[in-house]
Amino acid sequence: MTQEQILSRLLFNISLEFDKSVGSFFYDTQKPLAIELESIYAKLEEILLNGFAATAKGAYLDKKVAEQGLTRKAATYAMGTVTVSGNVGSVISSGDKVASDTLVFTVAQSKYIDSSGTATVSVSCDTPGKQGNVPIGAISRFPVTIGGLTSVTNPSATTGGFDVENDDELRDRYFEKVSLPATSGSKYHYVMWAKEVEGVGDAKCIPLWNGAGTVKVIIINAEKQAADATLITAVTEHIEAERPIGAAVTVESAQPLTVDVNVSLVLIAGSTVDSAREKIRANITKYLQKNAFAAEYISYAQIGGCILSCEEVLDYSDLLVNGGNENIEVSETEVPVLGVVDLA
């Protein structure tokens, strides 16, 4: 209820024999009360909404889903390897720090610099979340000088960093649990167990995939892409701790189905192809992630819509998706990922 509505009601209850116009005594005394009551009504509305899973947020949603035994998945730390160069015999020790421009990583093992002048060690990012997934060569310095060591680089991208589960993702898991019969080792139970693991974005279960007693669980990561070996192992271990005795469970990643897009654009004045490409990639990626593991095909028309929704695009022609102008079928073991976006 707005302060105007509240003030109107307050003044209505005052006798007409008194002046209630703007600036009058009664108006000026009731106005502050209306302002304060407006904030109280808003707080009451917030309390009401936070009592239901469909509208609760943050810590209130955490408390609501806890009634069904669910907890919000925490952020995970990116991991990888770095190659350290230096004087032969020098040591890079567990706990030493290396860094990119903005992030610090902790060395997980100790090694000596061998005769090649290098040593390769495992590292983990000190900051949780997907920001820790840095590209090749991003780790390039020592925050604190280490005697005998001259340089560091990461020969491959760091992976496995995922952000904390957001409200919408947690809410989806809640409604999935209360609406599906995930009991007694049903296929829904395996999906639920898989999705409880940090870093898992979605899962499918194929019962009896290799005969009686066999179960296959297919997963994708929180970025709606193929899962790596570390995530597969984590899901396998979690399911093994929960599954009924006797079931033989295989956990696999979905296979990436690369989606390449070729299109000719008509751009608005002042726009650049590079800027349009970046925004189109973001739009298509969002569409693919939203429908990952759910849709049976990639819509040719929806890809066109993603292009037109870019504010820099006036029109387009000659759109090809994986070389054709038809919908792309997606099998139950595949997850679509965006490949090349070629703009003319």
**What element of type H or E holds 194?**
helix 187-195
The one-letter amino acid code at 13 reads: N
- Alpha-helix runs per DSSP H in 50-148: 58-66
Tell me, what's the pLDDT at 182?
72
Looking at residue 87, what DSSP letter applies?
S
The one-letter amino acid code at 249 reads: V
pTM score, two decimals?
Answer: 0.78
- The model's pLDDT over 254-287, given as tens digits with 9 standing for 90+, comes to 999 999 999 999 999 999 999 999 999 999 999 9
How far apart, in whole angstroms, are the C-alpha atoms of residue 343 and residue 316? 10
How do the domains of the chain map onto residue ranges? 3-49, 79-153, 180-253, 256-343
- Cross-strand pairs, 125: 105
What is the radius of gyration, based on Cα positions, of the chain? 28
Of how many residues is the chain composed?
Answer: 344
Pick 180-253's CATH classification: 1.10.287, 3.40.50, 3.30.160, 3.30.300: 3.30.300
Does the pLDDT value for residue 60 go beyond 90?
A: yes
- The model's pLDDT over 191-236, given as tens digits with 9 standing for 90+, comes to 999 999 999 999 999 999 999 999 999 999 999 999 999 999 999 9
- Helices then strands, counting H and E runs in the chain, come out as 8, 15
Query: Please, what is the angle between helix 229-242 and helix 187-195, to 10°?
Result: 130
Q: Is 84 exposed, middle or buried (0-12, 13-18, 19+ CB in 10 A)?
A: buried
Q: Is 315 exposed, middle or buried (0-12, 13-18, 19+ CB in 10 A)?
A: exposed
- Alpha-helix runs per DSSP H in 202-265: 229-242
- The model's pLDDT over 226-256, given as tens digits with 9 standing for 90+, comes to 999 999 999 999 999 999 888 899 999 999 9
